[in-house]
């Protein structure tokens, strides 16, 4: 079952937690197709979140975060790695969930490399027409399998924001 926009048009932390265990689906330009379980995500929530690109207001890069949920936000990090996020929440509220790991691939930069994701997918909607979408898991995830931790690599945001348990990991 395809996860539609209404799944993503909810509070970011809810979407982040419920994304664990869902199936990320990708039809690669080179021809292959990939289906993998989402095992690690981080939430970026609102303009007050100092770790979020949205904390400095709307810009050409992050404007999709301000749109309604269910769109891909893809950007280049450290000049090397593409980061894959999906926007969440209502229109006008800047929020997104960073997909950091899958059952077969660990690491946000590796995910995009393996799945051949780059900026051509930025601002696209998550559905099969864009060759990148998410389907609901056939199995339900027990609460105890979900671990919450602080986000990775966001110390610059200050303790108040870098220490929030906005990272969700699925223990297997």
Partner DNA sequence: GGAGTGATGACA
Partner DNA sequence: GTCATCACTCCA
Binding residue for DNA, selected from 69, 70, 89, 108, defined by CB under 7 A: 108
Q: CA torsion 13→15→17→18, rounded to 10°?
A: 160
CB 112, CB 106: distance < 8 Å: no
- Contact predicate 159/151, CB 8 Å: no
The minimum distance between CB 80 and DNA, in angstroms, equals 5
Binding of residue 45 to DNA (CB under 7 A): no
Instruction: Confirm or reject binding of residue 31 to DNA (CB under 7 A).
Output: no
- Per CB under 7 A, does 57 bind DNA? yes
Q: Interacting stretch for DNA, rule CB under 7 A, among 18-26, 32-40, 56-64, 137-145?
A: 56-64
Contact positions toward DNA, by CB under 7 A?
Answer: 42, 44, 51-54, 56-57, 59-62, 65, 73, 75-81, 83, 85, 96, 98, 107-111, 113, 119, 151-154, 156
């Amino acid at each position: 079952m395809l996860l539609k926009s209404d799944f993503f048009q909810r509070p970011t932390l809810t979407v982040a937690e419920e994304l664990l265990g869902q199936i990320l689906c990708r039809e690669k330009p080179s021809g292959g197709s990939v289906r993998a379980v989402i095992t690690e995500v981080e939430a970026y929530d609102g303009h007050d979140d100092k770790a979020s690109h949205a904390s400095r207001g709307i810009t050409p890069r992050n404007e999709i975060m301000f749109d309604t949920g269910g769109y891909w936000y893809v950007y280049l990090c450290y000049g090397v790695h593409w980061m894959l996020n999906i926007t969440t929440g209502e229109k006008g509220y800047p929020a997104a969930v960073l997909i950091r790991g899958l059952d077969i691939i660990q690491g946000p930069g590796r995910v995009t490399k393996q799945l051949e994701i780059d900026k051509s997918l930025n601002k696209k909607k998550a559905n099969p027409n864009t060759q990148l979408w998410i389907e609901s898991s056939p199995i339900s995830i027990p609460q105890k399998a979900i671990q919450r931790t602080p986000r990775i690599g966001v110390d610059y945001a200050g303790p108040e924001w870098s220490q929030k348990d906005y990272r969700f990991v699925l223990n297997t």
